[in-house]
Structure 1
């Protein structure tokens, strides 16, 4: 880099490496900022758009999960109601069946009693007939 070495000597080459590196670095940074700001801005906008899209997707998935949860809760409540109805119908049906069985058993007992009484009367008449034959 050409710099002013002193007032008497004019322009010349500055051999101080520290000053030259700082000036060169400044020039390189200025060129990078001038040409690289558009690339950096585009990259940041692309990244921002991707982040916003991911956030929107996650919000939609969260909303869908809440909707699925609400649907599952509604179905669960409906299932509980149906289960209670089935249980109550089962209890009613069991009571009706037990009443029918009791009625059938009572009818059978009644028929058995009638059969027993008929058999006893038949045997009595048979015995009476035998006694009458024996007496005759």
Structure 2
């Protein structure tokens, strides 16, 4: 405490008393440390250096392995992209072929439907015309029969029969 008080009152100063400052003890301690500790520290530093060198070598090997793996992965990626592009091109080609095939089939089916519809229309038209003819004949027969019943008497009927027989080659 006295030294602290002395420094505080007098300012900063150096103490040149060897015994008070323990310079001899410090010199002996440093000498012993250098003499006995040199081998220990040198072994410790050599060991540490070997470990660091081994770690650096190991890290370099891992970096080389990672670089090789990266190059292989990039090659596989490029190959996969090429295959994907080929698959996409094949799919587009197949889609175009299928589209054209479907369109061609659709045209053929439309043509078949048109032909079938035309045939059915012709058939239905023929049936309708035949039915109309039958109805006209039936109406004409009914009208002729009704006119004949009203205007046909015995004398007209006899004349009609004689004329028909004469036309067939009978008496003239």
Q: Trace 1:37-116 onto structure 2 (pairs within 5 A).
A: 37-116=38-117
Whichever of the two has the greater Rg, that structure is 2
CA deviations on 1:4-55 (whole Å, 9 max, x unpaired) are xxxxxxxxxxxx9517944443333332222111101110111101111111
1:124 is aligned to 125
Equivalence for 1:12: none
Q: Which moved more, 1:29-38 or 1:101-110?
A: 29-38
How much has 1:131 moved relative to structure 2? 3.7
Gaps of 5+ in 1: 1-15
81-90 or 29-38, larger mean C-alpha shift: 29-38
Q: How big is each residue's C-alpha offset from its partner over 1:42-99, in whole Å with a ceiling of 9 and x where there is no partner?
A: 1011110111111112112211221221122112101110111111011111101111
Q: What does residue 135 of structure 1 align with?
A: 137
How big is the shift at 1:116? Answer: 1.1
Structure (1/2) with the larger strand percentage: 1
Structure 2: stretches of 5+ with no match in the other structure: 1-15, 139-172
What is the CA–CA distance in structure 2 between the aligned matches of 1:98 and 1:23, rounded to whole Å? 104
TM-score, length-scaled by structure 2:
0.62
**Count of equivalent residues:** 121
